[in-house]
Structure 1
């Protein structure tokens, strides 16, 4: 009798993985567009300079495009883990910005940075779980 090893990848885990990476792309894209389109009012609300929000908007749109393409691909685990690591780095950098007030953000801006860091941390966790399930 031969012992065959079946891959752990299931259609459900692949679909779930696609969902979390696609959600990351959509959320990042919407935020990126908002930062580009409303950089001035966002700077007035959160503190900081409008140019910083424009730069963040461009970065987030580029990130959204890359992650969106990944979500539609064959979902290489290595690339998926790179996205997770990128999200963890974003969370840590966001917490540093919130703690130090870097970029001249005010109290409401710090709260916003922490809130978005929590969303990104949750996305990273769900993405990591979906990658481990495959």
Structure 2
């Protein structure tokens, strides 16, 4: 008897360690790719998003380093709960800081930049939620 995709998916979300590891690895890939994009495309992103190129480069450097650190956390066996908790908290702080920057207009973003920042916050918040859920289920 073969296992169907829905049952594999439900078992993935039921098992805390698997969910935690998957959410960390996805977070690492997306965050590192995003950081590298900010680094490589600072000038075009300045025009498109309204984000100062210097700020974009700083964000890119941070995201690249953070993404690589998250990758290290996601590769450990078993996942270090304290490190995974720190990643989930870091993601939560990122969402709050992003929303605060948006609400104050501190970054002077264009409409496209605001939409991008909201989408990024939703994505990071989703990673944090999955990480918290994985931590809770892996007790």
- TM-score bin, normalised by smaller chain: 0.7 to 0.9
Q: Which of 20, 23, 26 pairs up with 1:20?
A: 23
Equivalenced residue count is: 124
Contact 2:91/2:124 (CA < 8 Å) preserved in 1? yes
Contact 2:18/2:134 (CA < 8 Å) preserved in 1? no
- Give 3-state SS (helix, strand or coil) of 2:107's partner: helix
**RMSD, aligned CA:** 1.3
The within-5 A match list for 1:94-113 is 94-113=98-117
Paired with 1:17 and 1:96, the residues of 2 have a C-alpha distance of 27
Paired with 1:78 and 1:29, the residues of 2 have a C-alpha distance of 21
- Give 3-state SS (helix, strand or coil) of 2:59's partner: helix
Paired with 2:16 and 2:97, the residues of 1 have a C-alpha distance of 30
Paired with 2:125 and 2:74, the residues of 1 have a C-alpha distance of 18
- Give 3-state SS (helix, strand or coil) of 1:104's partner: coil
TM-score normalised per structure 2: 0.85
Q: Which of 41, 47, 52 pairs up with 1:49?
A: 52
Paired with 1:24 and 1:76, the residues of 2 have a C-alpha distance of 16
Specify every segment of 5 or more residues in structure 2 that has no aligned partner in the other structure, as ranges. 1-14
Choose 1 or 2 for highest CA Rg: 1
Paired with 1:129 and 1:57, the residues of 2 have a C-alpha distance of 28
What's 1:66 paired with?
A: 69
Runs of 4+ aligned residues of structure 1 deviating over 4 Å after TM superposition are none
Q: CA deviation at 1:30?
A: 0.6
Which whole-Å deviations, capped at 9, do the CAs of 1:7-34 have from their partners, x for residues lacking one? xxxxx43222111000000000010010
